[in-house]
Amino acid sequence: MMQLRLGLTFAIAAMGLVGCSSFNNHSVDYKNTTTLAPLQFPTDATVRPFTPLYPAPTVDQLAIENAPKLENKQGTRFALPRPESLQANTAAESSAEGTTAMGRPQLVVDGNKNPLLQISGPTADIWQYTVATLSSLNYKVLGENKAGYEATIKVGEQSYVLKLTGVGNTHNLALFNPDNSFADPAKATEVLNQIYQNWPA
């Protein structure tokens, strides 16, 4: 009788654990949201002008596609990604031979103490990631020269030119004033650090 009671207890506990792991707790329901129409006030109401305190950023599709997947395999609940095994990494590296992989950006300074963002990889891919990151940061791009890998951006009330230059596989991203002089080091560090922190994974 005691064994039956103990066995029944273990069976119920096991079923509870299995049920909890497959249960949809609605933690990823935010992905299915819809855009609502702006709030409408009655026509005879006197209201102050409405300015959003925290406007939602417009995110580039490339940034969305390269964002980490924070859900379980079934897509039913939030889950942090698990590290891949060493064998899987080795297989991926061997299959990627012959193609140049893009490295993570690094904040560096040149000999004149000008901040730079150093990135290794194909020029076109780096520039595409740069533009996607600028979009996610809500910097207004005033103009873009895709052939020269330059973009004129507005930071606050000031306009700057972001340039990508490179030799071989190593590239530098730098912030310039419109007159082609290096931007103030403090402002350049701020902008390049934001790009570094929001670089697509």
Q: Does the pLDDT of residue 19 top 70, yes or no?
A: no
* Phi, psi angles (nearest 5°) of residue 129: -65, -35
Q: What is the pLDDT of residues 69-86, one digit of tens each?
A: 778 777 777 777 776 665
Distance from C-alpha of 182 to C-alpha of 179, rounded to nearest angstrom: 9
Strand partners, 116: 108
Distance from C-alpha of 13 to C-alpha of 94, rounded to nearest angstrom: 44
Could you tell me if residue 62 is inside a domain? no
Could you tell me the end-to-end alpha-carbon distance of the chain, in angstroms, rounded to an integer? 57
Question: At 13, is the pLDDT very low, low, confident or very high (cuts 50, 70, 90)?
Answer: confident
Question: At 28, is the pLDDT very low, low, confident or very high (cuts 50, 70, 90)?
Answer: confident
Domain that holds residue 136: 101-197
Could you tell me if residue 42 is inside a domain? no
Q: Does the pLDDT of residue 56 top 90, yes or no?
A: no
DSSP three-state, residue 165: strand
Could you tell me if residue 109 is inside a domain? yes
Could you tell me if residue 136 is inside a domain? yes
Please count the structural domains in the chain: 1
C-alpha distances (whole Å) from 139 to each of 80, 94, 117 are 30, 38, 17
From 133, 108, 122, 129, select the one nearest 188 (Cα to Cα): 108
Q: What is the CATH number of the domain that holds 117?
A: 3.30.310.170
Could you tell me if residue 45 is inside a domain? no
From the number of C-beta atoms within 10 Å of its C-beta (0-12, 13-18, 19+), residue 188 rates as buried
Mean pLDDT of the region 96-112: 75
Q: What is the pLDDT of residues 145-175, one digit of tens each?
A: 877 889 999 988 899 999 999 888 889 999 9
183 CB neighbour count, 10 Å cutoff: 23
Q: Are 133 and 195 in contact (CB under 8 A)?
A: yes
Q: Are 129 and 151 in contact (CB under 8 A)?
A: no
Cβ contacts of 180 within 8 Å, gap of 6 or more: 161
pTM over 0.75: no
Q: Are 150 and 164 in contact (CB under 8 A)?
A: yes
Could you tell me if residue 123 is inside a domain? yes
Could you tell me if residue 158 is inside a domain? yes
Could you tell me if residue 37 is inside a domain? no
